[in-house]
Amino acid sequence: MVKTKCINGYITAGDIVLSTVDDDYPCLVGRVFRIEPVGSPDRVTENETDDVYVDFDSDYSVERIREIEKTFSGFYDEAKTIDDIDLDSVIMSPDCLIRITGIDDEKLDWICESETNAIIYGYRVLRELVDNPGGESVERPGMRPVRGSYWTAVDGVRKEVAFENGLFHMWGSESTEYENGAVADTVAIVELPDGAVRTVYPNNLSFIQAEG
């Protein structure tokens, strides 16, 4: 069986994968069903990497479907619905895929709920890859230090938690459903010192001036 190296190991037909946030098909969950290696006479692209065929037609939430439609509407510069987007046979580069085979159903459903959740899970995987055996994080240039607070639920009660020395990864969005529709809010995706990743509202975030 043909296999190819992805971000966090090797994948083959049947594996479940998550695409990276910076790909043209970002933060999607799918199943690999075919791999055409470099040099194969059956390849239809001129990519320098193996061609990985992925079926990204997963069980996304209503909110996530809206996000996908918005992403591809912007990509094509015209309105797109989920039915207009070919997700069932996408040719991907393996270096844009994270292997998540074996993930439990509850966590998989959580990833499919929103783009932010998919980004958070992807960063958790990448965090594990850059940590050395001693448990100290490898320095990652370009990530700005931040402090602030985020909201979480403790025993069913919302609580604001303050943090210091977080790392800002990127801006994202979260949607809240109301009776008359969804409202999208801009959020910062922040990695905390203990490796957890949280979303933080901009008015609860401060960038720390680097010393020197």
Residue carrying structure tokens 């943090």: 163
Query: Strand order in 157-178's β-sheet?
Result: 197-200, 181-191, 157-178, 144-154, 205-207
Q: What is the dihedral of CA 155, 156, 158, 160, to 10 degrees?
A: 20
Q: What is the pLDDT of residues 165-191, one digit of tens each?
A: 898 887 877 766 666 766 777 888 888
Please tell me the pTM assigned to this model: 0.68
Tokens 């809206």 — which residue?
66
Q: How far is CA 63 from the centre of its chain?
A: 15
Q: What is the pLDDT of residues 91-140, one digit of tens each?
A: 999 999 999 999 999 999 999 999 888 988 888 787 777 554 344 444 45
